[in-house]
Structure 1
Amino acid sequence: MLPPAVPTFTTQFLLVSAEVPVDASLLVDNLGLSEETVRALKARGIAALFPIQRQVLQPAMEGTDLIGRAKTGSGKTLAFALPVVESLLAEDKARNSRKAPGRPPRCLILAPTRELAKQVASEFESVCPSLTVVSFYGGTSIMTQIDALRRGVDVVVGTPGRLMDLLDRKKLVGEKVRFVVLDEADQMLDMGFEEDMEVILQQMPAERQTMLFSATLPNWVSKVAKRYQRNPSTIDLVGEEQTGKLNEDVTLNIMQVNNHEKRQALVDLLSVYAAGGKAIIFTRTKLGADEVAAAISQQQPCEALHGDIAQNQREKTLGRFRSGDVTVLIATDVAARGLDIPNVDLIVHYDIPQDSESFLHRSGRTGRAGNKGRAVVMHTPSEGRQLGLILQQVKLASGEVIGAPSPADVMAAASRTVLSKLDRPAAGARACCCTGQHVWLQVGACILRCR
């Protein structure tokens, strides 16, 4: 019996949501953006905006405080980057200002994790290379960050803890800040940063524009917004009927497997459903992540990502995963918070999530920006009831039940991978040791020897 068809995944960088047709109003040439910004967007291959980006742009440019709510992967970072960049460029042009050493930031962005802070800073830099953008987070030298402030910056992106440290040392000065952005506000509150956020906001000028962006918007986030925003406009592209639901672009599969068979079932699962693509495997503990990574790495490039791994190593791991040098990432929930990695094809809940929020966050790492994705939940017989409750909370009656891939499934998937490689031989590659009918018998060994 042949396995289900392996999904075909696109490498397109930006897709406009299928829910809103592309029309002239979404094209970057028709948005009234500066030539510099349009040039930078087109250099990235962006010809049109997502719906939330278009809807946020005009009120944000008018100085309105905003609450932006959209599904994960909808492009909300660019949604607040564009209006901020346009305003700062217009201000620089009007004043004919030069980049003075030691200039304080005019925009402050709070993000829950170091990974997200780096991603947001990169987004700003790609939209407007002429602005000086820095990202500040723990786990790295604070003196290097202080030196950057001394040289002068335009936009600061940081985690609440490190920003608090810099403010306490009086190295980060907020007197010129005109824009404050809370990105992934629900995650920051969930991670215990509410007090830090309030202290930071209290030290910013009263006359400022505050924008809050979040994939979800529980009532307690709204309460925080009311304290620090003035008559905010809400841009809601999710709607209450979509609250707490799995992204419709993600196919959910459920696999029951005995605990002692999970490791081998995972290996086979990756062979069938993630051949040639990227996968993130979620475990409940750091030790579990290390053990699973050790097992999978014997079959294909794989690395672990959790809180005990040094920051510089975490960044190298993420870089290799984004580039495709590493195709499988084994992560804990906390380590993966805020990650925005394009073209993740498969998510595997190796350990079932603790609650519905964790389930949605894990599964939301795939099926982003209009692409299709697959999430597989592995559970033991004793975990069936707990999983059923989680699915009920996220408004899913059930997922498609699948069995562990059979040897024939794995062999067929492996043969497709080998044939695909033979169709596109790498420069200097050696011929496979197996030929003719033996390919079908020894294909698994061939992959290991020739990789």
Structure 2
Amino acid sequence: MTLPVALSGTDVIGQAKTGTGKTLGFGLPLLERVTVPVDVEAGRAKPEQLTDTPQALVVVPTRELCTQVTNDLLTAGKVRNVRVTAIYGGRAYEPQVEALKKGVDVVVGTPGRLLDLAGQKKLDLSHVKALVLDEADEMLDLGFLPDVEKIIQLLPAKRQTMLFSATMPGAVIGLARRYMSQPTHIRATAPDDQGATVANITQRVYRAHSMDKPEMVSRILQADGRGLAMIFCRTKRTAADIADQLAQRGFASGAVHGDLGQGAREQALRAFRNGKVDVLVCTDVAARGIDVEGVTHVINYQSPEDEKTYLHRIGRTGRAGATGTAVTLVDWDDIPRWQLINKALDLKFPDPAETYSTSPHLFEELGIPAGTKGVLPRAERTRAGLDAEELEDLGEPGGRGARSSSRTKADSSRTKSEERPARTPRQRRRTRSGTPLGDETAAPAPTAEETAEEPRTPRRRRRTRAGATETEAAPAVEAVTTTEEPAKPRRRRTRASSTAPKTETEAVAVAVATEVAAEEPAKPRRRRTRVKAAQPEA
């Protein structure tokens, strides 16, 4: 439905369910609008129409979706030799800048890195003929809408704009009205497919306890006919924890979340696509557009935030006409959130059944063999695992890429320690008065006999008055014991001596005053009493 309208150059708003081929819906018209040397040789274009700057731009919200769209466009444009380059964060700048210098026809990128390179004048968007916004509602949720508007302002006013997504909130429609010219809104649904979800996906919802969830997931992963499986979590910490627990239980598991470096994220996705890993634990960063063939089970370990996230999560299975199973484990605290999702999508699970890892209906509904335990038997551990996939060095900039994983850190530190030469330990030398103890040229220490013959004179401390100067210049005085001349007693000034009269006249006056004081009788001491209260007359 999209191809005839998009090939004519008209702006398009495409809306369809996940797994219905939206990538080629905008990819083929995009490749047709690009002018390449093959067109000049065939006479369909003139030589002056050729350029090394990008002629088409695709903006996507996540790095994983960026690499997938790039690979799809490279496959579709292989015959015409269309140059497609992926521009996204988490990788080194230099290879991307070199690819832009060599010339590129189509650029697929995330908003942040596109704006960064455009601001550095390394990315020229003045010749873009067609713009595609893929998963526009996710860019709105991630806060990329202001960046997308800045990118649109760098493009020529005369261009074709196409917007594709499975869900269309009001803000995305507002964006389309501002930057699109008379767009054609195409919504593709199958005649026998009613509702928002894909009909060939079997949905199961259980009320589960958080402490029993790892055991439940381990048993669900051993169901009959289970191929590749994706497990979605709300938080990065939960995703890393579940991936480690499943690895300990014998499953070949990998993790994709925001705390991993870009190299570790791409390593896990490559291992999942190649079959070395059959369980991928991820956050919602991998819920958009990831298309892996053979995914039969999707498990929502934690309830999604809203109905859009639920649709995109379960859309990783049942793609391109295949069948799949979606299992949602709802905790007691998430029941109100799930009931809102159930009502919005018109599902049939308003009150999920309370389920545990030993519940009979869990084994019956999901086809789990009886007697299955939470540990994968050793006979069934046939996958190579995540370690079999090579970890590519992407030259990740900044500190975020360094926080990849403990295993990656250990490997890198081990490699560096092997390459670095052994360090010679520092030799400390004991000295005495600046002379090394073990030095042969140093003077020998005095013996006990020499020490006994020449007794050491004790140091005498000299007490000086305050104000005495030039103490250093005074000659040294030998200590001599004076027994003939006794030391003079130290004079002490008393208060009486300091107040004694100094003249005869003063002495006579003091004596007379003393005699007069002795002759006069002492006056009685007056005592002050309170006034007696007036007594009544007799």
TM tier, smaller: 0.7 to 0.9
176, 184, 193: which is aligned to 2:127? 176
Matched with 1:279 is 229
Correspondences of 1:107-256 after superposition (within 5 Å): 107-129=56-78, 130-238=81-189, 245-256=196-207
> 1:334 and 2:285 equivalent?
yes
Decide whether the 8 Å contact of 1:269 with 1:405 is kept in 2: no
**How big is each residue's C-alpha offset from its partner over 1:327-380, in whole Å with a ceiling of 9 and x where there is no partner?**
001111235444232331111111122222222221222122221111111123
Tell me if the contact between 1:179 and 1:209 (Cα under 8 Å) persists in the aligned partners. yes
**Separation in 1 of the partners of 2:49 and 2:277?**
40
- Whether the 8 Å CA contact 1:253–1:402 is kept in 2: the answer is no
Verify: 1:77 aligned to 2:23, yes or no. yes
**Does 2:225 match 1:269?**
no
Contact kept? 1:304, 1:331, Cα under 8 Å: yes
1:62 is matched with which residue? 8
Letter in 1 for 2:65: L
Q: Kindly provide the CA deviation profile for residues 388-423 of structure 1, in whole angstroms up to 9, marking residues without a partner as x.
A: 23211221131885955659959x97889xxxxxxx
Q: Secondary structure at the match of 1:95?
A: coil
Alpha carbons of structure 1 residues 242 and 370: separation in structure 2 relative to 1, 3 Å: closer
Aligned counterparts of 1:235 and 1:328: Cα–Cα separation in 2: 35
Counterpart CA distance in 2 for 1:413 and 1:244 is 26
- For residues 77 and 450 of structure 1, the distance between their equivalents in structure 2, rounded to whole angstroms, comes to 34
Contact 1:269 1:404 in 2 (8 A): no
The reply on whether 1:376 has 2:327 as its aligned counterpart is: yes
When residues 402 and 326 of structure 1 are mapped into structure 2, their CA distance, relative to the original with a 3 A threshold, is farther
| Long gaps (5+) in structure 1 | 1-54, 417-438
Relative to 1, partners in 2 of residues 1:407 and 1:99: Cα closer, same or farther, differing over 3 Å?
farther
Instruction: Please list, as runs of the form range in 1=range in 2, the aligned pairs for 1:419-430 lying within 5 A after superposition.
Output: none
Higher Rg of the two aligned structures:
2
The answer to whether the 8 A contact 1:164-1:200 is kept is yes
* Residue 303 of structure 2: aligned partner: 352
Question: Secondary structure at 2:138's aligned position in 1?
Answer: helix
For 2:262, the equivalent position in structure 1 comes to 311
Structure 1 residue 88 displacement after superposition = 2.4
| Identity, % of aligned positions | 39
Unaligned runs of 5+ in 2: 384-538
- Give, in whole Å, the separation in 1 of the partners of 2:347 and 2:368: 32
Question: Once the 2 structures are TM-superposed, how far is the Cα of residue 87 of structure 1 from its aligned partner?
Answer: 2.9
Counterpart amino acid of residue 59 in structure 1: V
CA deviations on 1:7-49 (whole Å, 9 max, x unpaired) are xxxxxxxxxxxxxxxxxxxxxxxxxxxxxxxxxxxxxxxxxxx
CA distance in 2, matches of 1:202, 1:81: 22
Q: Quick one: which amino acid aligns to residue 374 of structure 1?
A: T
Task: Give TM-score, length-normalised by structure 1.
Answer: 0.75
Q: 1:195 to 1:414 in 2, by over 3 A?
A: closer
Matches of 2:337 and 2:142 in 1, distance apart? Answer: 24
Structure 1 partner of 2:379: 447
Where relative contact order (Cα < 8 A, 6+ residues apart) is larger, the structure is 1
Once the two structures are superposed, residues 118-145 of structure 1 have per-residue CA deviations (whole angstroms, 9 ceiling, x without a partner) of 1111111101120110000000011211
Which of the numbers 241, 244, 254 marks the counterpart of 1:291? 241
Deviation at 1:315, TM superposition (A): 0.6
Give the secondary-structure state (helix, strand or coil) at the position aligned to 2:216.
helix
Selected match of 1:324 from 256, 264, 275:
275
